[in-house]
Chain A
Amino acid sequence: MPPEQPQESRRAQILLGIACASAFVWLVHSFAVRNLLLAIEQTAHKLAR
């Protein structure tokens, strides 16, 4: 195994961690997600009525 491979793997893990964190922030913070849930709820209410 070339010596740079473990270092590259470590970097990749860190970057993947940041990407996951970024996706998580989007999930909890984006109004697209919040409003989708709200829209589903409203639609369900309308259908129930």
Chain B
Amino acid sequence: MAAGLYLLASACSAWLASNFFRTVSTRTVRYLAAMVLWAAFVIVPVHVAAALQMAGWISAIRLWPLAAAQLLIVVLCVLGSSRLVTAHHDKGSRSDQPVPLGTEENWKYSFPAYLLVCSGVLAASYAVFYANLASSYPTGWDALAYHLPVALRWIQTGTMRIPTYGAWQYALPGNAEIGMMLLLSTGRQWLVPSVNLFATLTMTGAVCLIGRRVTRRREAAMAAAIVALSLPIVEFQTFSAYVDLFGTAFLLASLALFLYRREPARERTTAFNGPTRSSARMLLLSGLACGLAVGTKPVFYVYAAVLCVGVAVTLIWESGRHWRASLAGICLFALAVLVPSLFWFGRGFVQTHNPVFPLQVKVGSHVLLQGFAPSEITRNEFSDKFVRRRAEWLIYPWTEWFRNPGDQLIPYSEGSGLGAAFAAFVPLGVFWAGYQAARGRGALILRILIPVGLGLLALWWIGLQRMPRFGLPLWLLGCVFAVPLFELLDRSATRGFRFLLVACVVATCTISLFVPLRELAARARSHAWRRCDVYVYPHFFDELPRGAGVLNDTGIEEANFLLAGEKLTNRVVADFEVQGPITSQFLQEHRIDFIAEAVSEKDNAPGMHKIVQVLAPTVEVWSEVKGAKRWRVLKVETSQQQHAASAP
């Protein structure tokens, strides 16, 4: 209830605050502004509460006080909005007055049939994924192993502190997890991926807007957005609790809003004469979006750093001798970046003296700031499961190979797959855009973005361990780079292009759809609707008394979330919190009542790690074979646990 009120109130605040962007004539920019503001209104108050809790000013982060604070923000937005309207009435001739939406925005009259067909196919495909999710629970390895356990831990403990034992999983920045935390607290676990649905809508708007800066032909920008939405990696992440799409969406939104900080019409007709109020607001919003991405995942530090340098260089170049104006713009942008990300840097610094914890900072072999090397978080060989040999990355869009596709065989997931439309158009589109840029043709923005994109691709290869999902901003920028190709083909090879695009989208969606359709059919056939049936774990954990401490010693990392039970009331101690043998002292320190173990019926079953030896008196209270694994539940002897909960 409190979470619902909080989200609703923040949406109202965002809608009211987006009135400050009435000076913008492009509907999509206003829409993107509202999305960024909504995310900021959801996330920043939680940061403030968490900081107050860490400072000892409040005992715990609670949702009702947060909802009350959000209502106060709504009131402030109402007051600000009404003052804005009054000011506009008083000063009707000001340049900042609201402008009507451009006639070009009447897209209803010019939306071509082939784009309608593609949109319809995509909408149907997304609807099936949604139906699968609504009748199930969130899935995905990373999501279950640590994204959702992090969000759940914040709810249960009321703090966002990094635990003293410093597991990197609990130390990552987590803007996306804040949304997940709020949605988990509604009790409807299937709602959690709505965070990513929101990100997909933001990403679509951003791709369209950046595309519109490249071409005069709106259909070409829309085709780029459709190709972006057809990427299996995007579609699967939309309905999962991964965070890459969330960060990517706001990174692209930041770029789009920066490109639209000045009205296109005014930009063509007027010379630079200092930042207007409108452009300053857009710059602020662009910085906020960039900060949202920075606070999502350390991977986005790399992209955000490049974006920040680009913004600074552009502002300096634009202002010429007006260095004060450029400095003011840069400071404004930097300040806005820090608003939704400073908390994570501050938390890391206060607790570990390393603002970018869990990342280790070192120069050569000299460690400047303690933490984990990137290869300890994501192993360097991890990406080798997408290709048979590394040279195959050059042809990955046409191979889409996957080492362990599992029973379903489809190599598409939250972490892999680019689809037919990408393979057919994007590499060729990037080549065509590069060729045009080399000849000094095409939009200026494209001539700047292409070398930057290629540089980032090299960085993805070297620094980001070649993980396909870490390169999501690049794949989506690739769709934007293909806009000149779409424009040319739509103008001069209309029928063939339209047929090919529709065929590619249909082919990709058909393959992607096989996964949710098969899952839905399997569940319907076996009547497996309960949480314990979907996740395949013993029902025992759903019936434990509230607050029971469960240690995940199953060797299944996903069980960190599963063992929380149907009502999410079990306090799970994750497998990565276990640093050595499980001793009586460890059990007491973590107030553990039950230890969950699972042994595969087959030898060397995939996804199973070695279980840790228990060196404390326990008694077996449950044993069951589930999902080809023998599950055992050990109850910690009451002499060890003063407060031990009773077995159901």
Point out residues on A near B: beta carbons under 8 Å. Answer: 5, 8-9, 11-13, 15-16, 18-20, 22-23, 25-27, 29-33, 35-36, 38-40, 42-43
- Given that A12-B488, A16-B489, A36-B511 are contacting pairs, would A25 and B398 also be in contact in the complex, using a CB cutoff of 8 Å? yes
How near does chain A come to B146, taking the closest CB pair, in angstroms? 28
Beta-carbon nearest neighbor of B416 in chain A: A32
A22 and B489 CA atoms in complex are apart in Å by: 15
Of the candidate stretches B160-168, B179-187, B401-409, B539-547, the one touching chain A is B401-409
A19 and B412 CA atoms in complex are apart in Å by: 22
A22 contacts B485, C-beta separation under 8 Å = no
A41 and B327 CA atoms in complex are apart in Å by: 63
Beta-carbon nearest neighbor of A11 in chain B: B488
Contacts of A26 in B (CB 8 A): 397-398, 420, 423-424
A29 contacts B398, C-beta separation under 8 Å = yes
A36 contacts B410, C-beta separation under 8 Å = yes
The interface on chain B, measured as residues whose beta carbon lies within 8 A of the other chain's beta carbons, has a size of 38
B424 contacts A22, C-beta separation under 8 Å = yes
A19 contacts B511, C-beta separation under 8 Å = no
How near does chain A come to B226, taking the closest CB pair, in angstroms? 15
Point out residues on B near A: beta carbons under 8 Å. Answer: 232, 397-402, 405, 408-412, 417, 419-420, 423-425, 427-428, 432, 485, 488-489, 491-493, 496-497, 500, 503-504, 507, 510-511, 514, 518
Contacts of A42 in B (CB 8 A): 409
A30 contacts B400, C-beta separation under 8 Å = yes
A12 and B514 CA atoms in complex are apart in Å by: 34
**Chain A contact residues, majority secondary structure:** helix
B399 contacts A23, C-beta separation under 8 Å = no
A11 and B411 CA atoms in complex are apart in Å by: 35
B518 contacts A27, C-beta separation under 8 Å = no
A13 and B511 CA atoms in complex are apart in Å by: 29
User: 15 extra interchain contacts, Cβ-Cβ under 8 A, other than A22-B427, A30-B400, A31-B400?
Assistant: A12-B488, A12-B492, A13-B492, A15-B493, A16-B489, A16-B493, A19-B424, A27-B507, A30-B398, A30-B423, A33-B511, A35-B405, A36-B409, A40-B514, A43-B518
B420 contacts A16, C-beta separation under 8 Å = no
B397 contacts A32, C-beta separation under 8 Å = no
- Given that A32-B417, A39-B514 are contacting pairs, would A16 and B500 also be in contact in the complex, using a CB cutoff of 8 Å? yes
A36 and B401 CA atoms in complex are apart in Å by: 12
